[in-house]
Every structure is written in C-alpha cells, then in structure tokens.
Amino acid sequence: MDTQWLPAALAMVAGGGAGLSPEKRAALGTSLLLLQRDYRFERVWFWGCIQGVRGAYYIAEGLGPDRAAPRSRLYSLNCLDWSLLTAAPAEALALAEQLKGRFQGDPSFDYDLAATNPEAAARLIEGGKEPVIKEETRLIATIEQIDREVGIVPRGAFVKTPLGSVHENRHFEGLSLAEAKKLSSYLHFTKPVNLKNKTLLEKADLDPSTDFLDSLEHDLPKGSWSIQLEKGGTVVVLRSLLWLGLTFYHVPMTKQFGYVYFGTGEKNLDLPFML
C-alpha cells in the first residue's frame, strides 16, 4: 500500500473491520516519510500489521527502481521507530515457516525447535548450532510467504523491460469496472510458476511486457479469493481466505490500488475443508 495514498487506502479496506487508530495513522504518515528519506528508498509501502500476544509488528517495505528486486523490510512496535529486518539463511526461513501458533510480539523471543521439529533440531545440534528460531526470523519468513502467495497487482500496472527489470507502467490508468470484477485481471507480484507451464500456443497471445506474472484464476484451492464491490460500487476489494486479513483494493479507471495485511500471521490451513 503506497504511503502517498495511505489515509484514503486504509479507509477503502476498512470494510473488513481492520484498520489503525487515528494516532497510529498520524504517526505512520510522518515516520514513513522520514524512513524513505533516511534509507533513500525510491518508494515506501506500508505492508500491514501482524498482531502478537503481547504486542504488534507494523511492517513497511522499501523499494528501489526495479520493483521486482528484493525489497528492504522494516518493522516497528510503535509506528515511530523502525528496525531493518536482515536477511536470514534459506534453511532458517524454511524452518520458521513451519512454526505454528501466535506471534509473541517480542523480536528476541526464541522458539524451541526440539518441541516442534525434532529432526531439524538434531541437525542444528550436530552442526554446533542452538536448536532455536528467533521470532524476528519467523517474522521475515511470514512476510515473504504472504507476499509470495497473496501479494497481488492489477494486470498492466507494471511492465517488464527487455533487460528484465520491472517498472511502474506510466500508461496504466486502471482497469475498467467490468475487468476489475474478474479474477483473471489480477496477478501475483512474484516470480511466476504457472506461466512456465504454458504451451507455446498459449504464450502466443500474451504480451511479454505485461503478461509476465501468474494470474489469480489458477490459484489453489479454488475459491480462495473473495471479490466484492464496496463504497457504492466504486471500489473493488479482494480478500484472501487463505491468509485471513489480506485485503487488496483497486479504484477502477484510476491508478489507485494496493494491499495491506492485518492479522495474526497464521495461514488458514483448514480452507480446503471449508469450501
């Protein structure tokens, strides 16, 4: 969710009952601008909030010229002071994704792998490492997993150059209302998976500059997205049933779109049995 549209964007996704207090919104409006200046980001997105037992993590993402490049992620406990989330080894992130239960709200909290994954704990002990995962590592893993699985953008909002970099499409003026109500008009803003499996005949109808991402229409399980018209039919809202709390909005015929997450950071693994 772009910070320049933050107040209006938060109002558009508030239909699900999630949001921020006026004090938090005011604090974010100031601190995110300072964050962009201090870290020299080209753009800052407010990612959302993960609610823990004893506190909440407010997340922001810093972007450079290439929108598909790895993002810098930061968290705050009060919407004022921000700390950079450093990259963790792939093995640690994979283990962190397997952790269950609520976040504690303490970045230094240790999860004991001996109780949740004895085999992984044994491997760490053999390698001379402690069989623990810090909550900060779990936070990084959860943000990456949510971005990978349900971070979406409208079709045509970004273009891929012949050199492989991805930039905002200056000619994008929003989806029409008819197109905005279709699941196929939205794409996962991450490395494509299903696109590689398409035949040459299917790829012949695609524009490589705009159709370089996977569409939501192939997401599994079927029915994991809810599409609704709100604000008198002027705003299209998509909600993920797989990651409860992820809300995407788009105002048709405008450049306004974005997504935000307000939840506990727990995946809805029971969704296939609920549909």
Residue 253 backbone dihedrals phi, psi, to 5 degrees: 65, 20
What is the CA angle 1-45-173, rounded to 5?
A: 50
Q: For residue 89, what are its two tokens?
A: 């080894």
The pLDDT of residue 89 is above 90: no
Give the mean model confidence (pLDDT) for residues 75-101. Answer: 89
The pLDDT of residue 11 is above 90: no
The pLDDT of residue 199 is above 80: no
Give the mean model confidence (pLDDT) for residues 111-140. Answer: 82
Q: For residue 225, what are its two tokens?
A: 């997205």
pLDDT at 128: 74
C-alpha span between 68 and 160 (Å, rounded): 9
pLDDT at 203: 63
C-alpha span between 83 and 99 (Å, rounded): 23
| pLDDT over 70 percentage in the chain | 96
| Per-residue confidence band for 202, with pLDDT thresholds at 50, 70 and 90 | low
Q: Which amino acid is at 272?
A: P
Give the mean model confidence (pLDDT) for residues 92-121. Answer: 86
Q: How far is CA 7 from CA 11, 12, 25, 174, 203, in A?
A: 7, 9, 7, 20, 40
Give the mean model confidence (pLDDT) for residues 178-184. Answer: 94
3-state secondary structure the chain: CEHHHHHHHHHHCHHHCCCCCHHHHHHHHHHHHHHHHHHCCCEEEEEEEEECCCCEEEEEEEECCCCCCCCEEEEECCCCCEEECCCCCHHHHHHHHCCCCCCCCCCCCEEEHHHHCHHHHHHHHHCCCCCEEEHHHHHHHHHHHHHHHHCEEECCCEEECCCCCEEECCCCCCCCHHHHCCHHHEEECCCCCHHHHCCHHHHCCCCCCCCCCCEHHHCCCCCCEEEEEECCCCEEEEEECCCCCEEEEECCCCCCEEEEEEECCCCCCCHHHHC
Q: How many CB atoms lie within 10 A of CB 81?
A: 9
The pLDDT of residue 28 is above 80: yes
Pair type for strands 158-160 and 246-250: unpaired
> In this predicted model, what pLDDT tens digit does every residue of 37-62 receive, in sequence order?
999 999 999 999 999 999 999 999 99
CA 246 to the chain's CA centroid: 8
**pLDDT-wise least confident of 113-122, 157-166, 208-217:** 113-122
